Structures are given as structure tokens and as C-alpha cells.
Structure 1
Amino acid sequence: MPDAWLRLALAPGVGNTSLIRLLTAFGSPEAVLASGRSALTAHLSRAQCDALLAESDAVQLDAAHAWLAQPGNSLMTLADEDYPKTLLEIADPPAILYCKGRRSLLNQPCLGIVGSRNATPQGVRDAEAFAHALSDAGLTIVSGLALGIDAAAHRGGLAGAGSSVAIIGTGLDRIYPARNKALAHRLAENGLIVSEFALGTPPLPGHFPRRNRLISGLSRGVLVVEAAPNSGSLITARVATEQGREVFAIPGSIHSPLARGCHALIKQGAKLVESAADILDELAWQQRLAPPVLREDRPQGEHPEGHECLAAAYPSRALPETLSDPVLDALDGAPTTPDTLAQRTGLTLDALSAKLLTLELDGRIASLPGGRYQKIH
């Protein structure tokens, strides 16, 4: 089965739009490849016909087959039953996706998180904390494996129940940027990495806007954490709006260049958010019980019951009254700053930010003006 799809995908100059047109006209990749020049010329240029009718590159095909033979690697096509329905809703769905990891995540409810590559330390903390809380609520976090906000979003997503999906702009045999190599390995083991580009494809500038349409296309909404004016994150937000997805933005200081993109989005109608609960409320996520996120070590079809089911879907929310929490214990009733809490608990600010968001989402603490927190009795 993959041979016909691979031959179509590897034909030089025959892009995704042409592939969709051919599949619509002929019904299957086998039928396309069996067609003669006269039938193909109605849908392709002369150069594209020449490429499609020429002998396939044996080296590329062999490399693709060798890659597919490795554990965790697979090819997803429009003909597959598990092709994500969310991508079928967008104007230009990819005919082929190269997948590394848990491809079942593509059919879980997803939330995109994007932002600046040159993020501030606070932006990185916010992205990771929001992603962790939203993942714990059962949403799979989707981003682009870039430095800064993307990487923080993936770390937060992997730390929660919903895991994380990376959509990249290169072939899956390349890791870009190289500094995210360790993160990419974690995603391949516990999440998913996806690309519509053939193996060996380098990080060309035009590939990343195409990647962005898949981040938003897979997601119920997109959160922009930090973004300068005219940044790629704003392109993702614009495409999300065109696709009918919700757009969320975290406000920042009027003096910060990285807040201007978010402020522009808010002026244009994006939802201003201050906590993960704001996003869950807008998506009506708290009004429904999402299916439990099944771990890979649980036999298929085996579902926990009662409180165990709630714990599987919302680990951070399950039976909170029975658990002792060091952050709650450190809140003595008076409004307290994160720095003070970090000193009392010994937690890093990154870990503390994630915990504070989770506790606020559970309704156990309240955030106050000035960045302080107080326990709700």
C-alpha cells in the first residue's frame, strides 16, 4: 500500500494541492499511476506529468521503506480510517503524513500553543505551565518544536495526561533546531512528531507557514503566549481564525515588544486569557467529562471505573481533599508571592508556576493583583 502513495509523494514538483486534485479525479494513487499522459494533462503541467511518469527514485524509495521499518514510524494517508477528521475540515489537508510515535494522539482533542522563539523567561514559564494544566485536563498540546515557547509547550504537554504533538517543517529524519534533539526524542517516545514533508527535506523558510496551518487545523483553539508584530505565531493565529478555530492570547506589559502581537490579536477579537481555566471555560471543557486518556500500558478496552476513571482523565483534579499539597501548606492565609512560595517549598519557579495554575484551575487558590496567591478555604 505505501508504495503508490510514496511514489506520488516523491514525484518532484507535484505538491500537495496537485496530489489532492489527482486523488479527487482518479480515486486512488494506484489509479493515478496507471493513467496515461493524456489523462494526466488535464490536471498537471507538462513538467509535473514528466515527473510523475518517470521512474521513481529508487534511493528515495529504499530510504523511505527503511525508515518505515523502524519501530514507531508510520505513514498516514487520506485513505486511512484514523486520518484526523479535524484536518479534513481545512482547505488544504495533507495527502500524506509521516508519523513518529503515538499517531492515535492525532484523534484526541488538541489545543495549539505557539509563540516567540526568543521568548522571555516569564513567557517560557507561562507556556509550560499552561500546557501542563491543559494537558492534565485531557487536551493534547500541539506546537512546532521551535525554540522558546514551542519547546516549553511540548515540555508542559508531555508532563500532563494529554501528552504533546510536534508538527515540523522538515523531514522526520532531521531534527531542527538541533538544540531540541533531546526534546524530540521524548516526543517520539511518549508523544508524536508529524511532518507532511518527505524524508531528507531541509528546513526551508516556506515550509514553516505550511506547518502552521496543521498546528491550528488539528486544534480546537490556538493559544499565543508571546509574539512580536508580524511574527509567524500571528500567521498561525490568522489561519486558525480562517479555519474557524478559537484564538487565545496572554496579555503582557505595554513596554514589551513580545506583548504587542498578543495585544494586536486581542484587539482583533482573540480571547484574553489569564489562566488555563479561561481556555477550558471558553471551550466548554469543564461542562463535559472527556474520555479518559488511556496510557500505553493499559490493555485496549480496559477502562477504570468511578474515581479511578476521573483520575485517569483529570489526574490533577482527582480526590483533592485526600491529598496533602506542599504549595497549599506553604500558603498561610495571607496573599503570598511566588518567590516566597518557592523559598518555602523548595520548588523551582517553573515547577511552582505549573502547580499554581493547576491549583487555581481546581478552585483551591485564587490569583490576586500584583501576582500574589491566596488559599481558598
Structure 2
Amino acid sequence: MELTQRDLLFKLAVCEGIGNLGMLKVLDFSLAYHDTTNFSKEEIIHIAGITTYQKQFCTSWDYWTANDEKLQNYQAQHQFILVTDAVYPAYLKQIYNCPALLFYKGKIDYLAEPCLAMIGARSASVYGIQVVREFIPALAKQLTIVSGLAKGIDSISHQITMQNGGKTIGVIGTGLDICYPKETAHVQREMMEKQLVISEYPNGVGPRKYHFPMRNRIIAGITLGTCVIEARKNSGSLITAQAALDYGREVFAVPGNVLQAHAKGCHNLIQEGAKCTIRPQDILEEIQFF
């Protein structure tokens, strides 16, 4: 049976040896040639430009081809959208290497809302938590708050948004059936039921170090701007901030104590041109121009 584009992209997503760029190339080729999806594994290797991991891809493709019923059952356990779907966020589609498909649980219509990323240190200080509590009530009235469901500023931003009746989106670096870290599992479960959690990884995929920079590009990509509340000099939050700058989005940085390490990242951002942010209105005034 010939696969639809949706079926093909899911099959590629669960195969080893092919990355997101390769999947986008296959989809682009399919669209250019009358939506054809009847590709052999050799054709996919050529179209996707798979070199180093050809053996892994062939083994994985052959396994899922031989176990088509298992693949269909596995696919039925997921909700996902393709980059070609109307509901796919327009801002995310603009970035390089945008996810070919997004798995989700919750209210997918949140992706159409104007969004702001709120990110920061995992080891949040009392000051950082106070900033989140001060900023969120005003911001959540006009913007959907996006973060990464990590410990610290991320999960606190999600929780305070929900406490204030706002909308929030979590972007994770694992399958949606996995809660990482475990400390924020209760927040993720609540958000999958009442808010929205998205990932580019299918169920069963655990955390890998390289997943989180990839996750960060999605956070920066779906938002109008990124607000960094606390960050060390070489923290993952700065990767998200840099991605936001690369995508032409606004970056906001909250100043902190000049003597504390987890404020140095924000201070460096301010020195490099990020907007020094001391109140939620600083964000709302800037965001309106987008």
C-alpha cells in the first residue's frame, strides 16, 4: 500500500539514521513531484543525502516495512501535524531546519496565538522566581507563554501562567510519554491535559544531549520574542536567545546582581544589545511592533 505524506513522514520520524533536514528534503521532493510518496529506501537515501548512517537507516526502514501493522498501531498512538498543515505555526515555518512534524498533546490551537518565551536558570534564585511572579500576570493577558518544562524558571513560568488563567506551551526534548526531568512531571501532565505540550520526537524517545539545543530552536522559532530571566554565562538559555536573534526576533534580558554567576548571561545579552527589561510593559511595548 502506498503511503500518504503523513504516513511517510511518520515512518521517517521513527527510522534511525535520518535527521530532520533529510525528512524536509524528502517532503520537498514529494511536493515537487505530484505528491508522490512511493519511494524505495535507496531513493530516500539519495534524496535525503544520507551518508554516514546509511546502514542504520536501511535496517530501520526494512524493520518498519516488514512490520507495517506494528507501525500503524504505533502511529495511532500519536497526534501530530506536518509542516504543510495549516495549523503549523507560521513563525516556526520561517526558520532554518524547522521541524518536519510536531507531536502534541493538548490544545493545538494555541500555536496560532502570539507567543513569548520565558526562560532561565534551572537553579532559580528567589529573585528570579519573584521576577516571574511579577511579570507573568500582565504578560499572560496578551501573550501565550512558551518554555521548556525544565526545572527552575521554565517550569515556574508554566505554573504561574496557569495560576493566572493564562495559556502556556511546553516544548520538550523527548517523546511526549516521557517526563524529563522527573521533578517537573506533574507540570507536564497537567499541561498535556489543560494546555499544550509539543515535541519533534515520537513516543519512547528519551533525552539526549543534542535534543535540547534542537528543542531550544523551536522555543525561539514559535515566539515573537524571548525573555531571559536568569542565565549563567554559558547556559542553554543563551542558545535559545541566540536562536531568537538569528531568527530576527526580539530578545529581552532581566538584569540581576552583578556579583552573582547566574546573572552574567543576562548582563552579557544586555551589553550585546538585548533590551534591558525591568517591567512587563517593556516587553509588551516592544512586542506590539511584531
Q: TM-score, normalised by structure 2?
A: 0.89
SS in structure 2 opposite 1:34? coil
Per-residue deviation at 1:14? 0.9
1:78 aligns with 2:83: yes
1:359-370 superposed matches below 5 A:
none
The structure-2 alpha-carbon separation of the partners of 1:184 and 1:92, relative to structure 1 and needing over 3 Å to count, comes to: same
Root-mean-square deviation (CA), in Å?
Answer: 2.3
Q: Is the 8 A contact 1:6 1:61 kept in 2?
A: no
Mark the CA change 1:26 to 1:120 in structure 2 (over 3 Å): closer, same or farther. Answer: same
Residue aligning to 1:272: 276
Q: CA–CA distance in 2 between the matches of 1:100 and 1:43?
A: 29
Residue from 284, 288, 294 that aligns with 2:288:
284
On the 8 A contact 2:41/2:58 being kept in 1, the answer is no
Give the counterpart of 2:173 among 156, 169, 173.
Answer: 169
Give me the whole-angstrom Cα distance separating, in 2, the residues matched to 1:84 and 1:13: 27
Identity score, percent: 36
Change beyond 3 A, Cα 1:183–1:22: same
> What 5-or-longer segments of structure 1 have no aligned partner?
69-73, 289-377
Q: Residue 27 of structure 1: SS of its match in structure 2? A: helix
- Superposed, which structure 2 residues align to 1:226-305 within 5 Å? 226-284=230-288
Q: Which runs of 5+ in 2 are unaligned?
A: none
Q: Using the alignment, how far apart are the partners of 1:67 and 1:185 within structure 2?
A: 17
Residues 1:263 and 1:60: Cα distance change in structure 2 (over 3 Å): farther
SS in 1 for 2:282: helix
Misfit runs of 4+, over 4 Å = none
Question: Under a length normalisation based on structure 1, what TM-score does the superposition of the two structures give?
Answer: 0.69
Offset at residue 44 of structure 1 (A)? 2.9
SS in 1 for 2:173: coil
Separation in structure 1 between the aligned mates of residue 263 and residue 282 of structure 2, nearest angstrom: 19
SS at match of 1:112: strand
Does the CA-based 8 Å contact 2:22-2:47 persist in structure 1?
no
Structure 1 or 2, whichever has the larger Rg, is 1
Structure-to-structure mapping, 1:158-197, within 5 angstroms: 158-197=162-201
Q: Secondary structure at the match of 1:222?
A: strand
Code of the residue aligned with 1:101 in structure 2: it is G
Shift of 1:242: 0.3
Contact 1:168 1:211 in 2 (8 A): yes
C-alpha spacing 1:42/1:275, structure 2 compared with 1 (3 Å): closer
Match of 1:114 among 93, 116, 119: 119
> 1 CA distance for matches of 2:262 and 2:30?
48
Distance, in Å, in 1 between the alignment partners of 2:282 and 2:47 is 50
User: Partner letter of residue 50 of structure 1?
Assistant: C
Count matched residues: 280
